Structure 1
Amino acid sequence: MLRSTYPVLCSEHVEASSRFYRDHFGFEATFESDWYVSLRHPGSGTELALLDPAHESVPPGYGTPARGVLVNLELDDVDAVAARLEAAGVPVVQPLRSEPFGQRHVIVRDPGGVLVDVITEIEPAPEFLAAFGRDA
């Protein structure tokens, strides 16, 4: 029986990445060492972990930092969060904008290089309505 699933992101900057998710998004550590940090958001139960790619638990040849990964964080008010992130000096790689497929979002980069897509759902344009399931 599956009990949980969560991403483990390889980061050469585990401590800085952990601080990023705590300070800017309210995650809390459930386990913390210098090579691995497990995080959980107290409001949603969302989890993610950070792992030093040089750690011995990583199989040989796979010790590379996370690249090509986009972590989506859906929030109630992306405009307020985007302003707060920018004021804090978080690197913005795609400015705040609304998309016809039903998202208002900003994409930032965490200290380990992972892209974080901060999203608030908005009404999609009519041409995208059919793409959503009945219960969406």
Structure 2
Amino acid sequence: MATTVYPVLCATDVGASAAFYREFFDFDVTFDSDWYVSLRHPDGAELAILDSTHPTIPEGYRERARGVLVNVEVDDVDAVAARLEAAGVTVVQELRDEAFGQRHVIVRDPGDVLVDVITEIEPSAEFLAAFGSTD
């Protein structure tokens, strides 16, 4: 049985990617080397950054992942979006509200991974029924 599950994101600049998650999303470093950095958020979420060329990754799989979207829920997406933009982080989808209950912005981290920064909002009546009961 699994004891922990967390994503490991491949990057060409491990330090820059780790710094991104530390600076903008309050992750703390739990292990730090030149090829791998393990991060933990105060709420318990974990994330790691791995050098995409490291030999622990089998030949033929050392390219950076495409099609990965990391969701980060925050209390105030508007404030985080403003900090990200002021720092020059690439915004790939502008801040907007979604009928399914999110206000969000999508940015690109230094390793080209998409990061969807989200604050939950009230969903439209159409989507309300899709949410399970919290009872």
The normalised TM-score by structure 2 is 0.96
Asked if residue 33 in structure 1 is aligned to residue 37 in structure 2, the reply is: no
* Percent of residue pairs bearing the same amino acid type: 70
How far apart are the structure 2 equivalents of 1:107 and 1:82? 9
- Cα deviation for residue 2 of structure 1 reads 2.2
Q: Which residue does the alignment assign to 1:57?
A: 56
4+ residue runs over 2 A deviation: none
SS at match of 2:97: strand
- Cα deviation for residue 97 of structure 1 reads 0.3
Q: How many residue pairs are counted as aligned between the two chains?
A: 135
SS at match of 1:19: helix
Task: Kindly provide the amino acid, as one letter, of the partner of residue 131 in structure 2.
Answer: F
Q: Which residue does the alignment assign to 1:130?
A: 129
Asked if residue 116 in structure 1 is aligned to residue 118 in structure 2, the reply is: no
SS at match of 2:29: strand
Q: Deviations over 1:24-75 (max 9, x none)?
A: 1111110111111100112x11110011121110011110112110000001
The normalised TM-score by structure 1 is 0.96
Q: Deviations over 1:104-132 (max 9, x none)?
A: 00001000000000000000000001111
How far apart are the structure 2 equivalents of 1:110 and 1:66? 13
How far apart are the structure 2 equivalents of 1:53 and 1:61? 11
State the Cα RMSD in Å: 1.1
Which segments of 5 or more consecutive residues in structure 2 lack a partner in the other structure? Answer: none
SS at match of 1:119: strand
Task: Kindly provide the amino acid, as one letter, of the partner of residue 31 in structure 2.
Answer: F
Which segments of 5 or more consecutive residues in structure 1 lack a partner in the other structure? Answer: none
Q: Deviations over 1:80-112 (max 9, x none)?
A: 111111111111110100000000000010000
How far apart are the structure 1 equivalents of 2:73 and 2:120? 8
How far apart are the structure 2 equivalents of 1:23 and 1:134? 35
